[in-house]
Each structure stands twice: as C-alpha cells, then as structure tokens.
Amino acid sequence: MDEIIKTILVYALPVLFAITLHEAAHGYAAKYFGDKTAYMLGRVSLNPAKHIDPFGTIILPVVMYAATALTGSPFLFGYAKPVPVNFGNLRKPKRDMVWVAFAGPGANFIMALCWMILLIALQAMQVDEPFFVEMANAGVVTNLVLFALNLFPIPPLDGGRILVGLLPHRYSYKLAQTEPYGFIIVMILATTQLLFKLWIAPLAFLAERVLQLIASPLSLLF
C-alpha cells in the first residue's frame, strides 16, 4: 500500500500538467483557427479543474493502478474532459482540424522535453532526493505515453482526427465513420497489450530519442 501511495504522489503532478496542457492546447489551437467554442466555455485555461473528469482522471486510474499492483495486469487507463471543438467553425475545417488535433500531443512532446531538461539539471546539481528525480522521470514517461497514445490513427483519438484531415475526402469520410467504435477498439487493443507493444512503445521510444538529441547540448554543457 505504501508503494502505491508513493507512486501516486510521484505521478500526480506530471499527470495533472500533462492532461491540463494537452486539453488547453486543443482549445487554444481551435480558437486560433477560428472556433471559439472551447474559449467561450472556459476551456482555454491552465486551470486543471476545467479539464479534470473526476471519474476518468482520478478515480479510474487510481483504481486500475491498485488492481495492477494486486493482479500484475499492465492495463492502465484514464481520460480528461475532451475540449469541445466545432470543426465547422474553423476557417479551413479539413486542414485546420489537423493542427487542432496535433496541438494536444504536441504539447505533451514539449512537456516531455521540459521534464527531461529538469532531470538533466537535477543530475547536474547532484540532487540526491529520489522523489524529485522520480517525478522528473515520471513527467518524461507520462508525456511520451500520452503523446504516442493520442497519435494512434483512429477517431476519436487525435491521430485519427489528423488522418481524417490528411486523407482524401472519400477515405477520410469512411475513417470518420469509425469514430463511434473507436473507443471500444482502443480498449480492446489496450487490454490485449497490442496497443502498447505495436504502437505506444515504439513511438514513445522514437520520440524519446528525438528529445535526447534536442537536449544533448544541455547535457554536454553540464
């Protein structure tokens, strides 16, 4: 039980930042490209309370983590309140949909870089308090996982919306029709570990290598 509480404390701040900035980025991008729906509803905000779903963001992940510790199952899942976007209000809906969708994972990529820089700084300053080092590591991991997961190319995930915006109309229409079943498909793939093994792990690994390359000058400086 102590280990569960420790893990929750280590991941709490990184997860809170990750989901807040992810959703706020969607809202900001939508406003920039012409849709003020999220802005009018107060969702273009860095206030975590605007984006947290009490069940999906807090209760479900905690319960599933506790179950993981007891059963050994690797399956964890959670979600925030999605930012409402009226794609019809965008200046060029098909094109701008891509940017609005990518804004969320893009924010997670940038946050992963920030946590990595913090980790490098802690190591350079020889901070030996394991809690802060573990939190920085958790920030990198959390954001890389969210980056990769949300880029999975099926609606309603961001990757699905990006693909809908990039494909020719005939194919994008067919892909968009899968949205009502997308959540079920993702859940099935997640519970069988296929989503993690075939998509999240490889993409997160690649993104981490890119981040290390970006941060390498700072590492050499320290």
**Residue type (1 letter), 159:** G
Residue whose C-alpha is closest to residue 43's, from 81, 87, 12, 13: 81
DSSP for 93-136?
HHHHHHHHHHHHHHHHHHHHHHHHHHHHHHHHTT---HHHHHHH
Map tokens 């099935």 to a residue: 188
Instruction: Give every CB contact of residue 66 below 8 A, 6+ residues apart in sequence.
Output: 4
> Which pair of tokens denotes residue 147?
């980056």
Catalytic residue among 3, 23, 129, 179: 23
Residues for the chain: how many in total?
A: 222
CB under 8 A, 24+ apart: contacts of 42-50: 43/83, 43/84, 46/20, 46/21, 47/20, 48/16, 48/19, 48/20, 50/20, 50/23, 50/81
129: annotated active-site residue: no
91 DSSP assignment? S
> Which pair of tokens denotes residue 43?
């969702």
Catalytic residues, by residue number, are 23
